[in-house]
Amino acid sequence: MAALIVLFSCTCSPRNTGTETPSEVSKSINVTGVQITRASLELNVGDGFHLGARVLPKDATNPRVTWSSDNEAVATVTQDEGQVKAIAAGSAVITVTTVDGGFTATCPVKVNGQAEPEPPTPPTPSDPGAPKAYGATPTAGQLAWQRRELLMFYHYGQATFSGYDGENEASRIGIGQWTEDLLLKNYKPGTINTDQWVKVAADNGFGEIIITAKHHDGFCLWDNPESTTDVANAGCSNHTDVLQGLRDACNKYGVAMGIYLSPWDRMIETAGLSLSVYETKYKNALKDLMTRYAPVVEMWFDGNHAGGFNWPSVNKVVFDANPECVIFSNGGPGCRWVGNENGDARETNWATLDIAGRGLSPSNLPGDYGTYLGSGDEGASSWCPAECDFSIQAIGDRNGWFYGASDSRKSARDLMDLYYKSVGRNGVFLMNVPPSDKGVIDDKEVRIIEEFTRMRQSVFGKNLADGATATASSVRGNNPDKYGPQLMLDADYDHYFCTDDDVRTVEIELALKGEQTFNRVMLQEYIPLGQRVKSFEVEVRSGGSWTSWGRGTTIGHKRILTGRSVKADAVRIKITGSRACPVLNGFGLYNDTVSGL
């Protein structure tokens, strides 16, 4: 209420002293007049003012008054309280009238200006409930696998010492034929420091390792109950159970463990076993691995000469012991080969794949990078994201999967480029780091990996969007506390921004905490609810003007756009196409000044 109030007094009955008559004790005091506390008013349209009245005399028995306006199109007044509201330009007269005696007073009112639009009434927040999952979604194992992002592969075995990796033609390398005796003699490590292998991974942010328990040559790094071509053979010079050493080191450093078991086996070819007999042996060996070294988070089925196994029954062996294991192959079902061994995914990369429709299995080696392996199948019914494999070593223009002292090495800059093209395109980075013939990861590799780690930390150690103020053109249920865009900026993976179900395009504006210089923009979808976004654009505001900075198609778990360096005080994300309401749980701005990319 305003400070101006109706002034009145209350006449109380005086104490009877014994000398007054009863009529004198109950005598009332009549009103003799009224005044308004303002002689006139001048208001602007939309303004309000509280008029007051003074009833005369001050101790009148009934001081009540009423108010009225002679032109309510210009100014209104509340009948009992004298609250004036200016409605439109013009003049009006406000009158106050006493209830006792009908005395009046007036206040002329002048209203200036045009009516300002009433501010919109904020919609009442509501909670329509979290959006439902859309299409295929990841299992708990697949989600954990994707969030690890960086995986390390170890190719190790008799080929570390001989170079005969099983893909060689025996006649071309002058060994006549593959024999058990040959492979056992080739394998001649002194020490095997599996603890160092895993420590290198853990120290550099790699959350999972995968070991070649058996490559194409048929040599096994553990006591395989279905083979004698293994480290337990008396003819082998080193009987170390390499898988047990890795299992122990993974437990020690908190790194997840995966296993590679090649379906192609040159020793089986040499023995001339039938496919059905070999499949039984293969599944028995697989069961031993899955139970003896559990938990196994990823099973790697190389598609090279994979044969005609009954793959659903092979997969069942894996899932019986490790239900959340991610099975890699050309067609999953857990994750898919990206279609090349260069370590990069395509710009458009869906985590969904039409496994059933395409009849995919490890044995049919379908497609290549330029087909659905590189991009996935939009809206398909199976969740099967891309894994991008490559080796840190190279022999000419091909990967050096097993250690070679004279092989060339990728640089830290090369690794950073592949990080942007794998993790930054909704894939997973799988780098082969072959342990040397000395039983350790060579210092050459360690130095490169550590430099790569320093680069990543330099670029991604500080999110330049921290402290930004986020707004959006649409928020689910008009409830920004629960679904607003600021949730894209907090550290909780399960907090996300989203729109109502029928809203598939949206603009998100982030006013930065001062001007920031950046050349990398990161977005994340909350993939537990599916992959949705088909296209987006990034705009930046510099010097008060908005310009386009970059465009993309799919987002998925993580999308990192690389582009020109810009200094801006705001960024706008436009989701221009989405299969369902967008659900985003991550945003970042970064400045890469170290990689040279």
CATH superfamily of 469-590: Galactose-binding domain-like (2.60.120.260)
Distance in angstroms (rounded) separating the CA atoms of residues 425 and 555: 7
Instruction: Give the tens place of pLDDT for each residue, 466-476.
Output: 999 999 999 99
Q: Is 22-112's fold the same as 150-460's?
A: no
8-22 residue pLDDT tens: 333 333 334 344 444
- Any idea where the domains of the chain sit in the sequence? 22-112, 150-460, 469-590
> What's the chain's average pLDDT?
92
Sheet with strand 408-409: strands edge to edge: 398-399, 393-395, 408-409
pLDDT of residue 79: 92
Q: Which pairs count as long-range contacts for 105-109, CB under 8 Å and 24+ apart, including other chains?
A: 105/34, 105/35, 105/36, 105/53, 106/36, 107/36, 107/38, 107/39, 107/40, 107/41, 107/51, 108/40, 108/41, 109/40, 109/41, 109/42, 109/43, 109/69, 109/74, 109/75, 109/84
Q: Per-residue pLDDT tens, the chain, 597 aa: give them.
A: 333 333 333 333 333 434 444 444 457 899 999 999 889 999 999 889 999 999 999 889 999 999 999 999 999 999 999 999 999 999 999 999 999 999 999 999 999 986 455 566 666 778 899 999 999 999 999 999 999 999 999 999 999 999 998 888 776 677 778 899 999 999 999 999 999 999 999 999 999 999 999 999 999 999 999 999 999 999 999 999 999 999 999 999 999 999 999 999 999 999 999 999 999 999 999 999 999 999 999 999 998 888 789 999 999 999 999 999 999 998 899 999 999 999 999 999 999 999 998 888 887 665 666 778 999 999 999 999 999 999 999 988 889 999 999 999 999 999 999 999 999 999 999 999 999 999 999 999 999 999 999 999 999 999 999 999 999 999 999 999 999 999 999 989 999 999 999 999 999 999 999 999 999 999 999 999 999 999 999 999 999 999 999 999 999 999 999 999 999 999 999 999 999 999 999 999 999 999 999
Cα 591 to Cα 328: distance, rounded to the nearest angstrom: 34
The domain made up of 150-460 has a fold known as: TIM Barrel (3.20.20)
The class that CATH gives domain 22-112 is mainly beta
pTM exceeds 0.85 for this model: no
pLDDT tens digits for 60-101?
A: 999 999 999 999 999 999 999 999 999 999 999 999 999 999
